[in-house]
Chain A
């Protein structure tokens, strides 16, 4: 883990995620081409770009679904040693580095109830409390207490995303917007330090979008965690992002505050179109 030390100096004290010269090739196709940026703690970092710009590939590299061809992904987690995400096994990124994500096409446990979905998210904590099933099988109070606490937490999040009435319904039967909110709640139940959201506002109506903005900002302010946000809905991205990274054809073309990015001629040319020039 000492290999991460030089990056720590360059990235600054409040850096949470340092993406350094990240490149991802699929055969001859370069999905991400030498992208470097820093996401800070207690900030919402928006990642925008036209379709096929490599946004979701970036997420898949971050959360261990792909192994990057080149580059270093460093996660700084408070006082603990930094994690080099590109070297970690897929599930360990969620377990140890505590990077949580949602998916573009919702991936809930459809046959299980909403409450169960949130309980599964707390698997590692509960597994430990159940003594890797042995103690739980006997029914020791240690496990029962841990399960009660986990349930409290799940209920807290169900109330927070306004799904408490749906708690015992199958997740797959919930309305679309509710499924999106449940997926965010499920990710938050893993106690993440970095929450990656892949198009959370897709398919939401304007009122639901506004509620989503409120939810994301409250998560940032209350838990002090960093959020990475892929989004096409500009009212969401521009409204709540502290910092925006723009990708186009796998390359980073702009990086800055929403106002800076909106004025950047490269972004206007590549993304917003020529007509938008003011």
Chain B
């Protein structure tokens, strides 16, 4: 304890100078960034030339508040967390609390001005806040909250003492073990919840449709996981295979009159074929170069879909795709000539919900099949070769593993599951167009894989729920939806840089069951 106070005393002058220096830098950056963009607001008034109003007040507040936050963080770094905690706490309560009160009780917020000083709330016309906008003030409040959290973490760390390298490694091991336990519990729970959720009282059409959408992305995430997570091939054009699957079903059903169930395997095969076709030219490429080529491939497929009018319908897409049937029994109110509808078959009252529910269960089963296959494949020689290829291609070649076929099978497998998902997409939407297969889709699927923790099946499912479900839930926030989405992404990456559930279980253990214990013994 004595040594600690000594180091603190010695560090005090440096902390102050560093804090001042960094605060000055921060103030400068804030000024440069905001002077033009925030300082002047253009205003177009009817019948007058374009004018502008200045907002120097907001800049002044930014130049004061942001460097103050910087000072708090520097103090944290030097172990003086108390002032940051108190200052951050007050700032948070004022900025965030004020915004919440204003929104909750419908009291307007006003910027500080000469009328406010020395008068009461009513005269000011609302709660005086630095920026006079509940959202901006609330965001600054969240910044203050970050400072508070950092200060609390610093206080806890100083209370427990610094972690040694061994302790940190052990902690990492524990977090991995926790991720494993969580996956073991969470996986089956999620499956059970997914199966029974349509029967719960709060399920409605909207919920089931959202869940169907989420499950489509879960399946795509699991499929891409084979290529990116296992084989380590960064694929930015995954949506191309999704498109191939969707168009395969659309064309097969419209031109050849094939049923969904007959088209599904064919669509998977076509997509796998495209996977191999893409795989061949890019076999020699690695890392960034591979990513660029796959990105190009994804765009190529989309542009072909737009331009090949006669076959794909061009930008107008394909509509009137055949609806899904219950293995041959259609979901219709009135049975077409010579067929029995699903409702008649089971003696039920016709309901449009039947088809929605059936689609939900179809995608659930398809996703689970993808999951099952991936888990099986990992434990087979091909899966191990994929992972070995990710770790070191040179060593693989020296061991007599053919990198060409190994990569191609990874591409083909991943593409096949995308093809299945694509067919499902087509049969659910009943209308497809190139607009559904843009690059952002590939990016979202990749984000799901990375965010979930590469190679973790349950993690991918969680990430899909978060990434697809969250924007749906956050529709209320309208304008700030994407901002909140970005904030959540950044927070996850700060909190769990390796993904939500980063944990790799060996595909084979020396002795089943006590592998973990053995490991601990070996380390000790």
Contacts and interface: CB of A to CB of B under 8 A. Distances in A.
Interface of A: 63-65, 90-96, 98, 100-101, 103, 107-113, 115-116, 119-121, 123-124, 126-127, 130, 132-133, 136-137, 143, 147, 151, 155, 164-169, 186-187, 190
B400 A94 contact: yes
B347 interface: no
Nearest to A102: B398
A110 B376 contact: no
B394 A107 contact: yes
A119 B356 CA distance: 46
Contacts of B387: 109, 111-112, 116, 120
Contacts of B395: 103, 107-109
Contacts of A166: 522
A109 B391 contact: yes
B510 A112 contact: no
Nearest to A172: B391
A110 B518 contact: no
Contacts of A168: 506, 509-510, 515, 518-519
A110 B387 CA distance: 10
Chain B CB within 10 Å, residue with most, of A101, A143, A167: A167
A165 B520 CA distance: 10
Given A109-B387, A116-B507, A168-B506, A127 B381 contact: yes
A192 to B, nearest CB: 10
A91 B401 contact: yes
Contact of B518 (A155, A167, A190): A167
A110 B373 CA distance: 25
A130 B381 contact: yes
Contact of B399 (A100, A110, A111): A100
Interface string B372-409: 01001100111011011011101111111111000001
Contacts of A190: 399-400
A239 to B, nearest CB: 26
Contacts of A115: 506, 508-510
A98 B506 CA distance: 27
Interface of B is mostly: helix
Nearest to B521: A165
Contacts of A63: 398
A123 B399 contact: yes
A112 B390 CA distance: 10
Given A133-B380, A133-B382, A123 B392 contact: no
Contacts of B508: 113, 115-116, 119, 147, 151
A92 B404 CA distance: 12
B504 interface: yes
A98 B399 CA distance: 9
List the 8 closest A-B pairs by CB distance, nearest first.
A94-B400, A95-B400, A109-B391, A126-B381, A167-B510, A107-B395, A113-B506, A165-B522
Nearest to A163: B522
B465 to A, nearest CB: 27
Contacts of A130: 380-382
A92 B400 CA distance: 6
Interface of A is mostly: helix
B385 A136 contact: no
6 contacts: A101-B398, A133-B377, A133-B381, A167-B518, A168-B510, A169-B523
Given A133-B381, A190-B400, A169 B522 contact: yes
A92 B402 CA distance: 8
Range, interface on chain B? 35 or more
B376 A186 contact: no
Nearest to A129: B381
Contacts of B402: 91, 95
A168 B134 CA distance: 54
Contacts of B391: 108-112
B454 to A, nearest CB: 10
Nearest to B510: A167
Interface string B268-290: 00000000000000000000000
Chain A CB within 10 Å, residue with most, of B381, B397, B508: B381
Interface string B81-95: 000000000000000
Contact of B385 (A100, A110, A123, A143): A123
Given A112-B391, A168-B519, A90 B397 contact: yes
Nearest to B403: A91
Nearest to A168: B515
Given A92-B400, A115-B509, A168-B515, A136 B381 contact: yes
A109 B392 contact: yes
A143 B395 CA distance: 25
A101 B395 CA distance: 9
A107 B510 contact: no
Contacts of A64: 397
Given A130-B380, A169-B522, A121 B399 contact: yes
Nearest to A110: B391
B521 A120 contact: no
B385 to A, nearest CB: 5
Nearest to A154: B508
Chain A CB within 10 Å, residue with most, of B377, B398, B504, B518: B398
Contact of A137 (B376, B388, B394): B376
Contacts of B409: 133
B515 A119 contact: no
Given A109-B395, A137-B373, 13 more contacts: A65-B394, A90-B397, A94-B401, A95-B400, A108-B392, A109-B392, A112-B384, A120-B387, A137-B376, A143-B380, A165-B521, A167-B518, A190-B400
A46 B354 CA distance: 75
Nearest to A146: B381
Contacts of B390: 111
A127 B382 contact: yes
A190 to B, nearest CB: 6
A222 B395 CA distance: 25
Nearest to B387: A112
Contacts of A126: 381
A225 to B, nearest CB: 16
A119 B384 contact: yes
Given A110-B391, A115-B508, A137-B377, A120 B384 contact: yes
B225 to A, nearest CB: 15
B385 A120 contact: yes
A136 B384 CA distance: 13
A100 B398 contact: yes
A110 B508 CA distance: 15
Contacts of A165: 518, 521-522
B147 to A, nearest CB: 36
Nearest to A124: B400
Nearest to A155: B510
Given A109-B387, A130-B381, A120 B399 contact: yes
Contacts of B519: 168-169
